[in-house]
């Protein structure tokens, strides 16, 4: 009985070597491993005879079985390395490529057009001595409306225009003029500042989005006049577009400035030729921003002496500015993250 078991164990090595000669892929190799070393494999079947041996013969046969098992595992490992090398060689042979072909260029990212116009606008005003200030996007009713001379019954307070939070005391700011109030509360004139940032209004169409960007400016000092306002904004417009761009100021109304004006620029598309221009609708002019002299009521809310100080303020929509600067006809393109659109800038 002992001799038969020892002979069977020895024969396993020879048999495995013969089988491995025809194994050439990982699947066949795994099947061979199971055949010889699996739970129901040939080595397991031979070892079932250990229970019938004389107890004094079991140690010898057990030791031989461990030796044979280790030998089989080594041969299977060597075969696995050989098969894997063959697989790699086949892959290399199939995946040939021409090393003389030029490499693929690394694509470069693009700065978003709104970021470009934001950086350009901020740079122009900073060169004129304006400091940049930011503030919270969630504001209280006082800083967003009352301090800016917007009475309770003003249309801007309509719930369909403003995103109010529960309780109606807090809201998503509708303009960055709120930052101007915070700065004036904490500082005395002279003040020369811009307040860029995100604002929110309940609009959504081709020319409006619920969230958009503004840069609002404020200049307060002694003897500041409307002529200073005209000079700053004219220089700004000509820096954004070109020196041939004309500007005009039309009387308007804003609750926080008096007098107030809308600033128009000569059409940057038809160059004021007016013929068949769908942008300016044949008028030769494009509305671009609102401005005016700060209302004394605003000075009163922050404790400034309206007899001593005067100032002007203005507000610019960055999306509107970018559309005119880059010739974009749909506001929603800024927010769709379409690479075909963004890669043009």
What pLDDT does residue 25 have?
A: 81
pLDDT-derived band of residue 159, with 50, 70 and 90 as boundaries? low
CB 171 within 8 A of CB 162: yes
| Spans of all domains in the chain | 2-94, 113-342
What pLDDT does residue 1 have?
A: 63
What pLDDT does residue 215 have?
A: 95
Report the C-alpha gap between 284 and 145 in whole angstroms: 35
pLDDT-derived band of residue 2, with 50, 70 and 90 as boundaries? low
307-322 pLDDT, tens digit per residue, is 999 999 999 999 989 9
Partner residues linked to 195 by β-bridges: 216
pLDDT mean across residues, the chain: 85
The answer to whether the Cα torsion of 172, 173, 178, 179 is positive or negative is positive
Report the C-alpha gap between 79 and 74 in whole angstroms: 9
Higher pLDDT, 297 or 82: 297
What pLDDT does residue 5 have?
A: 65
Give 43's contacts (C-beta < 8 A, 6+ positions apart).
9, 12, 36, 37, 65, 68, 69, 72
pLDDT-derived band of residue 223, with 50, 70 and 90 as boundaries? very high
What pLDDT does residue 282 have?
A: 78
58-105 pLDDT, tens digit per residue, is 677 677 777 877 887 888 888 888 888 888 888 777 777 777 888 888
What pLDDT does residue 74 have?
A: 83
184-194 pLDDT, tens digit per residue, is 999 999 999 99
What pLDDT does residue 61 have?
A: 66
Q: Which of 202, 218, 211, 108 is nearest to 160 (CA)?
A: 202
User: Secondary structure of the chain: what % helix, strand, coil (to 5)?
Assistant: 45, 20, 35
CATH number for the segment(s) 113-342: 3.30.930.10
Q: Which of 296, 292, 316 is nearest to 306 (CA)?
A: 296
């Amino acid at each position: 009985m002992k001799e038969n078991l020892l002979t069977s164990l020895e024969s396993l090595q020879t048999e495995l070597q013969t089988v491995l000669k025809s194994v050439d892929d990982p699947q066949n190799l795994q099947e061979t491993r199971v055949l010889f070393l699996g739970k129901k494999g040939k080595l397991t079947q031979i070892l079932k005879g250990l229970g019938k041996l004389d107890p004094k013969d079991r140690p010898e046969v057990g030791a031989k079985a461990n030796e044979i098992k280790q030998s089989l595992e080594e041969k299977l490992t060597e075969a696995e390395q050989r098969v894997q090398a063959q697989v790699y060689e086949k892959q290399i042979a199939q995946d040939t490529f021409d090393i003389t072909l030029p490499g693929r260029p690394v694509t470069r990212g693009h700065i978003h057009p709104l970021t470009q116009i934001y950086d350009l606008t901020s740079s122009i005003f900073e060169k004129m001595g304006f400091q940049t200030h930011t503030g919270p996007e969630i504001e209280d009713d006082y800083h967003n409306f009352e301090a800016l001379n917007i009475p309770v019954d003003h249309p801007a307070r309509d719930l369909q225009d403003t995103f109010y939070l529960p309780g109606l005391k807090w809201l998503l700011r509708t303009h960055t003029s709120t930052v101007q109030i915070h700065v004036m509360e904490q500082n005395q004139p002279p003040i020369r500042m811009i307040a860029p940032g995100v604002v929110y209004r309940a609009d959504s169409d081709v020319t409006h989005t619920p969230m958009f960007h503004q840069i609002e400016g404020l200049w307060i000092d002694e003897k500041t006049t409307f002529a200073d306002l005209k000079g700053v904004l004219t220089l700004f417009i000509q820096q954004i577009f070109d020196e041939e761009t004309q500007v005009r100021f039309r009387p308007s109304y804003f609750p926080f400035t008096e007098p107030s004006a809308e600033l128009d620029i000569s059409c940057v598309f038809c160059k004021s030729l007016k013929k068949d221009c769908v942008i300016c609708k044949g008028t030769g002019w494009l509305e671009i921003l609102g401005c005016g002299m700060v209302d004394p009521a605003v000075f009163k809310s922050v404790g400034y002496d309206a007899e001593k100080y005067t100032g002007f303020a203005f507000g610019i929509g960055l999306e509107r500015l970018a559309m005119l600067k880059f010739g974009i006809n749909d506001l929603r393109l800024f927010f769709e993250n379409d690479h075909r659109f963004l890669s043009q800038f």
